Amino acid sequence: MYRNLIYIVLSVVLSNSVFGQEIELFQQFNGRYDYLAIGNTLNQFENNIDRSFCEILPESSADLNLASNRTIIAAYLYWAGSGTGDDTITLNNTEFVADNIYTVDYNDATWGLLNYFSCYADITNYIISTGNGTYTFSDLDISETLNNNEGYCENRTNFGGWSIYIIYEDTNLPINQINLFQGLDIINRNVQELIISLDNVNVLDNTGAKIGFLAWEGDAILDFGESLLINGNLISNPPLNPGNNAFNGTNSFTNSSTFYNADLDVYNIENNIEIGDTSVEIKLTTGDFDEFGILRADLIIINNIITVLNSQLPDATIQLDDFILECVSRDILCNYTVYNVNCTEVLPAFTPIAFYANNELVAQSETLNTIPIDGSETQSINITIPDNIPDNFTLELAIDDDGTRNGIVIELNELNNSSFQNIELIPEPPVVTLEPLLACDVGFDTAEFDLTEQLEHIDYNTIDDVAFYESYEDLINQNNAISIPEIYENRSDPQSIFIRVENTICFDNYVFDLTVENCPPYIPEVFTPNNDGFNDWFNIQGLYNIFENHKLLIYNRFGTLIFEGDNNLKWYGRTNRGINNLNKLVPVGTYYYVLYPNDNNYKTWTGWVYVNY
């Protein structure tokens, strides 16, 4: 990720039809690669010399002779002509449809706006399966264009032609970087100069460096002000391509000068580029005044440009293999792989890696080992996402990034260092409130509860997925689970209990209250205060330490109050009220009680109790 390189995006490729497409990088190949091209014109003659025709040939052929030690890597078919385009043609009786159509315009002073087009199709599999032999191109139909607008033939820009580019591997070759740039651009009398900047190239050794062109509609007879410059240097390949007439209907691969109104040329540029260059500037010119003072210019359409450079550099890419989210956590365990493929050199150890969440740096790492050509290295990292980042965000993994968007390694391709993944953290699940559990007070607002009674109101797979907790914090952290939920005594009234139920994604959680209620006491009808250890007092079960504020009054059969008790004073059959016999045992008989519970949920209880000895 060498950020100091200047990269210019010339335009955006549109699907199916692209208008005014400037030349930009289409494909890059790195390895022991080179290329060759075949093709032919569909013009009978150069249309600026022989003006007797205004149509194109129905077909033309070219031979492919690839050495047996060379392996085809990619193949692209290009065809072009006058008009807005014919996207379906035939090659060796096999129909092909264009992957894209490019068009450019020329505004002729006499005939108005004229259109020209180029198409391409990826035919790699077809060329691999067909192999060497004669390729016949046919069924390019621009007749309607030529018939409906006589301007094409009158200004001699009626043309058609085709070419196949083949990228191949040869183990005897040095390691090269091949950059294939394509689009459609034009120079003419209206626009006499065109500068194309080819970026994303790296020159480590200029030995054997070359550049190739596929251009259309150039005329050998029109050499007015025509030049082709690489990095400011005029290039030529005489006698086939003189310095003042580069686009003259020639084919450098066959040394032909009858590739009418098309050019399939390649030039050695060892002396035109320098080691360390990261871009190539191409300048084309046309137009000059003839001996009569009339401005004359060739119309030249550039379709593609290809460079072959010896360039031994790595190409680091990174891919997120998978990630693991923790429930109710901002931690992400990321498993990722760093690759060094489509490269010409090893990637050094300690190449920095940066991780960004919504463009904010959240973690850093580095490669551990030297990664060989076509090799990879897999690592893991735990990333904590800051609270200011929303739960739904984009995670970016960037190789050769020191955390400031700068790199330390010069690479073949500086534009493929990042990969992106949309991530949504698992939020804290909502708490579902259940109806409270009720139990009778057994003393001082405590009771015994069976917490598992709530299981009938929740969804779960197995009991092993369920745990009860006394606090929400313990539930989140899974600490201090209640060990015996079937027998649980509350610690306060009311008391909240939390249930955690594990599921495949995270967990569900529930809360309910334990509520202690004062149940009606059981009042006995008889007791025997004889100190035998059995039934010695008026034991009203469910009263003491439950109705803590109660008051108990005992009357004799004459209506005299003889005893008054409360939560701390039970009746053992002795008097504590009245003038006589205080603290004396009452005689055998029936006594009347009045019990004030002092509880808004209950009225006063009254009745009779029999005392016996």
Query: pLDDT per residue over 96-144, tens digit each?
Result: 999 999 999 999 999 999 999 999 999 999 999 999 999 999 999 999 9
The answer to whether the beta carbons of residues 440 and 447 sit under 8 Å apart is yes
- Joined tokens for residue 404: 């400031």
With 80 as the cut, is the pLDDT of residue 588 above it? yes
Q: Give the three-state DSSP class for 465.
A: helix
Mean pLDDT comparison of 95-99, 340-344, 558-562, highest-scoring range? 95-99
Burial class (CB in 10 A: 0-12, 13-18, 19+), 70: middle
With 60 as the cut, is the pLDDT of residue 12 above it? no
DSSP state of 145: H
Residue where the block lists tokens 């039970």: 570
Structural domains of the chain in order of their starting residue, each with its CATH number = 16-310 (no CATH), 316-424 (2.60.40.10), 431-517 (2.60.40), 519-613 (2.60.40)
With 90 as the cut, is the pLDDT of residue 205 above it? no
- What integer best gives the mean pLDDT of the chain? 91
220 dihedral zone (left: phi>0; alpha: psi -120 to 50; beta): alpha
Mean pLDDT for the stretch of residues 367-378: 96
With 90 as the cut, is the pLDDT of residue 10 above it? no
64-90 pLDDT, tens digit each: 999 999 999 999 999 999 999 999 999
The single-letter code of the amino acid at 270 is E
pLDDT of residue 309: 86
CA separation, residue 587 to residues 298, 540, 562, 573 (Å): 140, 20, 12, 9
196/179 Cα distance (integer angstroms): 14
The share of the chain scoring above pLDDT 70, in percent, equals 95
Mean pLDDT comparison of 229-238, 268-277, 293-302, 351-360, highest-scoring range? 351-360
